[in-house]
Chains A and B, each alone.
Chain A
Amino acid sequence: MALVSAVLVGGAVGLVVLTAGPLYRAARGPTVLDRAIAVNAVGTTTIVVLALLAAAFDEPGFLDVALVYAVLNFLLSIGLSRVVLDGGEVL
């Protein structure tokens, strides 16, 4: 059990380190939609990190948080693309 938990926590730490790439693109993407794609990638990584920590610490309540994060991430992407398509200059 301890080895499985260590592997899951290690995977979560690796994913958090790899989030630096999408954060860089979100900081200096030339357009709003570059930033939207980068934020979508960060949110997807957040879902996996929450699920991995739920399995590592044996707390299934984190999975509900991950489900809510998934729904909010999808709604953020769809809403942001609609706003940009309607011509609103967000940034």
Chain B
Amino acid sequence: MTGTLVTLVVTFLVALGVGFVGVAAVGLVRLPDLYTRAHATSKSDTLGTLLGLAAVAVAFGGGQPTVKTALLFVFVLLTGPTAAHAITRAAYDRGVDGWTRPGTPGGATAQPGSRVQHGHEANRGPQAQPGPDGPNDPDDGG
């Protein structure tokens, strides 16, 4: 039942899925912002998950477990990006600032008057030197 072709397909899908989950893990560690981290985990992590579940569905080779794996596939496909979107929208509605490169005058925090200033300054990374015109300073408030 499990021939060489099944082994090859399962190996390919598992390797690709683990690779995409690795990309998501690196992005979740290295990226500077909540929004960019959500970007990494909502797309790359979901794709790696779906490839792993496809490998499981191929390895079962039909029947009721493959149907359950397909249901799990559809559920993860629907709910993974939805959960990341809900968390990110909650952050935006609370006024969590996006990351901008330190020293550039433009960016998402150039007009700080319209939203609630939440100001977590630990998010800025190690290169957050205090500039003179500072979007890095959460206290000047517009």
Residues of chain B at the chain A interface (Cβ within 8 Å): 2, 6-7, 10-11, 14-15, 17-18, 21-22, 24-26, 28-29, 34, 37-38, 41, 45-46, 48-49, 52-53, 55-56, 59-60, 64-65, 68-69, 71-72, 75-76, 79-80, 82-84, 86-91, 93-94, 96, 120, 122-123
Contact = CB atoms under 8 A, between A and B. Distances in A.
10 contacts: A22-B41, A24-B29, A44-B46, A48-B52, A51-B52, A52-B55, A54-B56, A55-B65, A56-B59, A81-B89
A38 B18 contact: no
A7 B10 contact: yes
Interface residues of A, number: 50
Contacts of B2: 1, 4
Contacts of B38: 37
A33 B80 CA distance: 15
B28 A37 contact: yes
